[in-house]
A and B are shown apart, each in its own frame.
Chain A
Amino acid sequence: MSDEKTLRLKVASSPHVASPIDTRNLMRDVIIALVPALVMAIVFFGFRALISTVISAAACVFFEWAYRKIMKKTSTIGDLSAVITGILLAFVCPVTLPYWVLIIGDFFAIVVVKQLFGGLGKNFLNPALGARAFLMLCYPVPMTTWALPGWGNSAPLTMSVGQAYIDAATGATPLSADFMHNGLLPNVSLGDMFVGNIGGTIGEISALMLLIGGIYLIARGVIRIRIPAAFIATVAVLTLIFPLGGNNNFQWMLYEVLGGGLFLGAFFMATDYVTSPVTKRGELIYGIGCGLLTVFIRYFGGYPEGVSYAILLMNICVWLIDKYAKPNRYGVTAEMRKAEKEQAKAAKGGDGK
């Protein structure tokens, strides 16, 4: 009846074509976007910044591979997400942090925060930030010892924990307790803060480079602008309205926005797909929440910097935000929604009596 010959036709559900962008492409773009910030870190902190980053990425890939192997699960290192976690964890640690401490952090990020919850897509905390919080608890001193930027005093490639304070020229970051926490402006120019000629963790120093990476991700459609925009705008508005120590509003705002990990957090951490909301409205709520918590921690908290804890706290609210920030149903107008609500109210009232 039919003349199929030897033709074998595939029967599959529609759609029959797919966008060329897959998970790997997205992850690769994120890695590309992190490169400018890494370059700046090498310029200001020396090659130890690069080595820390590479070791951290390699350790994350190793732990991911080993965990999946031991647990007899499919290998997932091909999706490159472990590489990103490794880079980001190195980025939120000081360049003087001993490599072995960094590797403990990588273990915590990949195994505890990510894989124990089911691996990529299932973790409820950003792995790099979860690991940073863990390291802050376990190794508070090396985690808050900052190398000062500059070729002359770049950190040596090998050192023990003890050496870090002796050998490397260390100092306070613009956001540490001595300065902005008490309402004093740091003694670095805004230009230096923008370019990244300041103390801080490996990846957070250069607002300029992070901005370039962030714009690249937005232009490529990898991340959406809503979370970083809401995050940074909230910090900017709050600090503009409420400057500490009687400083000039605008100047204070710029130091707050450019200092600390705000750009790194807003563009690369808060936008982590797995731990951020999926709806438009949810993204705005989440971004604003991150901004509010950041400012609260900076102003009232015991820690010098609030970005990472702000994001972690918002991470755990994502499920709730998604639940209540769903898009409006298609075909249901505002009037219809109102009528429905009133009806529900009336029904409830009736039951009460």
Chain B
Amino acid sequence: MKQSFYGGVHPHDRKEATNRLAVVPLSTAPKQVVIPMAMHVGAPCKPLVSPGDTVRVGQKIAEIAGLGAPIHASVSGTVAAVEPRPYTGGGKVLSVVIDNDFRNTPGSSLTPHADPLALSPEEIVEIVKEAGITGMGGAGFPTHVKISSGLGKVDTMILNGAECEPYITADHRLMLEQGEKVIGGARILMKALGLQTGWIGIEANKMDAVDHLKSLVGDKADITVEPLKTRYPQGAEKQLIQRITGREIPPGGLPAHVGCAVFNVGTAAAVYDAVVEGRPLTERIVTVTGDSIANPKNLLVPLGTSFQHLIDEAGGFKADPDRVLTGGPMMGIAQYNLAVPVIKGTNAVLCLTPQEAAPEDKAHTCLRCARCVNVCPMHLTPVYMHLYAEKNRWSEVEDLRVMDCIECGSCNYICPARIPLVQSFRTAKFEIRGLAAKQKAKEAAKA
């Protein structure tokens, strides 16, 4: 099978624990949900409720303040607090805490549209915005902004069903069980972007999903369901675009620069829910897995449910975890507190045992074996970037284009000397941004 991006790695996908398990709702609803005001790229939202207010499922509880998407209550009940709470991004962020009344009183203000394709692009964008939809693959870019900024510039729409991170099966199960919504959502997005055709890219380790979606597209053939070689990071936006269209996004650019718009398959399903069923984004599928988990599961989870609750739903820990991640093992963020909530971009709660996790032995000397160079999908030379970063020579690291690094972790994964390359590059980026800001401030002071 053709692989048209350079490099990449092939870790064991470990999806067998959950890829045949249907998505199930929580057996016990959470007593309380904690809904952070920052679940997306951009500025945190402004809460519209205060402690003591009653809220209903789907009721808007926070409004956009800058770039962002509104936020809705995921359960009905009473607002217990509006205060900073720990969240998956690290640290604390202003959150709306809701005590669940277990009644699930509906309160969405969106109207269902039986014929979504009769809507104008502007109407679709407005519904997507009001439904609070953000990218559900992890990064969380507000979807309405992606559509409206791409209008007229985009000639190719791609749904990302690659799910190239090991362990995670949330998108896989979604495509199998709610394929109609994915295809329906894809057609709505195509309509919004003014396109007649679209693509869905799926890694070849999910051929059942490929076949299922192909059969759903049927004779209309407006959407090409493309099996992709199973190679991490096939699902990274740049690499997916490169694979499907052969185009490379210029440095610092966005997919729209090469006429592409990429949406996660979960995002497409959420768009369908919003437009056709009038439901804002208040729940998502989360894979709870890892060797520490007693009964790995794919769960349908109201946003704001704590990681601890999900772990309990999955039978708790059968072995003490070494670390608990939000997301996959290649790019996921390690959590220190299990009270953190599920947000719009949480696709997995991954509990790794010490045996599964990267060994913690001290880094050896770099051999210059060049494995990092050979796997880098961004054509970088991690070996030299790290050499300079170690010596704090940031301008040289910048010259080696560390800012192009997508932090996919391929180099770090493959390194036989176990050098924490990604960490080194994150530090370098941070320092380089800091220096640039300082320079700017200096120039501003001069002027």
Chain A residues within CB distance 8 Å of chain B? 1-4, 7, 9-19, 21-23, 25-26, 76, 79, 119-122, 224, 273-274, 276-280, 283, 322, 326-333, 336
Contact = CB atoms under 8 A, between A and B. Distances in A.
Interface residues of B, number: 69
A19 B334 contact: no
B404 A12 contact: no
Nearest to B377: A330
A328 B379 CA distance: 7
B393 to A, nearest CB: 15
A79 B412 CA distance: 19
A122 B417 CA distance: 14
Q: What 8 A-B pairs are tightest by C-beta distance, nearest first?
A: A15-B409, A278-B370, A13-B423, A327-B379, A18-B358, A2-B339, A331-B248, A121-B365
A319 B6 CA distance: 23
B422 A14 contact: yes
B409 A14 contact: yes
Given A22-B418, A273-B370, A327 B251 contact: no
Nearest to B370: A278
A22 B371 CA distance: 11
A15 B423 CA distance: 9
Of the listed residues B166, B323, B407, the one surrounded by the most CB atoms of chain A closer than 10 A to its CB is B323
Contacts of A2: 86, 308, 337-339
Given A7-B320, A330-B404, A17 B370 contact: no
Interface in B387-436: 401, 404, 407, 409, 412-418, 420, 422-423, 426
Contacts of B253: 331
Contact of B370 (A18, A79, A279, A336): A279
Nearest to B253: A331
A279 B124 CA distance: 47
B269 interface: no
A332 B378 CA distance: 11
A195 B211 CA distance: 53
Given A3-B339, A10-B334, A279 B373 contact: yes
B364 interface: yes
A9 B368 contact: no
B11 interface: yes
B36 to A, nearest CB: 15
B24 interface: no
B251 A329 contact: yes
B254 to A, nearest CB: 11
Of the listed residues B253, B317, B379, B414, the one surrounded by the most CB atoms of chain A closer than 10 A to its CB is B379
Contact of A330 (B248, B360, B369): B248
Contacts of B380: 327, 330
Contacts of B350: 16
Contacts of B366: 121
A280 B371 CA distance: 11
B60 to A, nearest CB: 27
B447 interface: no
B359 A18 contact: yes
B176 interface: no
A3 to B, nearest CB: 6
Nearest to A12: B334
Interface stretch (B115-123, B177-185, B296-304, B325-333): B325-333
A16 to B, nearest CB: 4
A40 B329 CA distance: 46
A15 B329 contact: yes
Nearest to B407: A14
A103 to B, nearest CB: 25
A15 B165 CA distance: 11
B249 A19 contact: no
25 contacts: A2-B339, A4-B337, A9-B337, A13-B423, A14-B407, A14-B422, A16-B329, A16-B357, A17-B352, A18-B358, A19-B11, A22-B364, A25-B416, A120-B367, A273-B369, A274-B367, A277-B370, A278-B373, A278-B384, A327-B6, A327-B373, A329-B401, A330-B251, A331-B250, A331-B404
Nearest to B425: A13
Of the listed residues A7, A277, A283, the one surrounded by the most CB atoms of chain B closer than 10 A to its CB is A7
A12 B423 CA distance: 9
Given A18-B359, A331-B249, 10 more contacts: A2-B86, A7-B320, A12-B323, A17-B357, A18-B413, A22-B417, A23-B364, A122-B365, A278-B383, A331-B238
A16 B379 contact: no
B208 interface: no
Contacts of B251: 329-332
A301 B91 CA distance: 68
A327 B383 CA distance: 13
B338 A4 contact: yes
A16 B250 contact: no
A4 to B, nearest CB: 6
Interface string B317-351: 10011111100011111111111000000000010
Contacts of A10: 322-323, 334, 357
A9 B359 contact: no
Given A17-B11, A273-B369, A11 B334 contact: yes
A343 to B, nearest CB: 15
Contact of B378 (A322, A330, A333): A330
A280 B379 CA distance: 10
B239 to A, nearest CB: 10
B356 interface: yes
A219 to B, nearest CB: 16
Contacts of B368: 121, 273-274, 276, 278
Of the listed residues A3, A4, A13, the one surrounded by the most CB atoms of chain B closer than 10 A to its CB is A13
A11 B335 CA distance: 6
B11 to A, nearest CB: 6
